[in-house]
Amino acid sequence: MDLGLSIVAAAVFGYSLGSVPFAVIVSHAFGLADPRTVGSGNPGATNVLRSGNKLAAILTLVGDAAKGALAMFIVSLVVAPVGAGDTPLLVTVAGVAAFLGHVFPFTLGFKGGKGVATALGVLLMFSPLLGGIVLGAWLITVALTRYSSLGALVAALVSPIAAWFLLANFATATAATLISLVLIIRHRTNIANLLAGTEGRVGAKKSS
């Protein structure tokens, strides 16, 4: 297969898998309200947690993280071998596409989640150490402040710095930086709320 077609195939597959709305699917399966109609209106694990059902939130988190990693893994097995030496590029494309699929899913009218969990799954596939550092930054920040959004922002700032030190592949490091920029942009409302002191904390029933 031509490299151009391989890239398109990896992107389409990654985007399609990333567009699976686990927050909506899990909420429906548990008989919970559509996460787009409550709290922040964001179809993600944090908003599902506001329903009070921790298991549903965990399943959403795992599903959103897994779809990014799974897209990359499947492409490495199926699509990438056709591209031979272009395997890292194709896998990277699949990962970024899966992340963008979560943020802008065709299944939800291109209005998706913030992308934190999916980004983590992709970063772990880029490098377990990179993913671990980013996850650690998120966990520590949330543990200290109980602001999930602040944890995501800190992780997004740490990610590109760590990526350029740890990743030898230019395309992959660039992809990690792109993902971080999108994450920060997607959290612009949260940034305003944090500055205003009105941002909802993890565990709160009501979102600002």
Angle, vertex CA 63, rays to CA 45 and CA 170, nearest 5: 100
Q: Which two tokens stand for residue 176?
A: 């990690």
What pLDDT sits at residue 19? Answer: 97
Domain membership flag for residue 208: no
Q: Looking at the domain assignment, is residue 60 inside a domain?
A: yes
Domain enclosing residue 160, as ranges: 3-196
Task: Tell me the pTM.
Answer: 0.91
Domain count, the chain: 1
Which pLDDT does position 40 carry in this prediction? 78
Q: For residue 201, tell me if it sits in a domain.
A: no
Residue 204 belongs to a domain? no
- Return the pLDDT at 49: 86
Does 202 map to a domain?
no
The series of mean pLDDT values per 10 residues for the chain, 208 residues long, is 83 96 96 88 88 92 96 86 70 96 96 95 96 97 93 96 91 95 96 92 57
Domain membership of residue 160 (yes or no) is: yes
Q: How far is CA 149 from the centre of its chain?
A: 13
Instruction: Output the pLDDT for position 201.
Output: 84
Q: Whole-angstrom Cα distance, residue 23 to residue 168?
A: 34
Query: Which pLDDT value is given to residue 208?
Result: 36
- 206 belongs to a structural domain: no
- In a domain, residue 32? The reply is yes
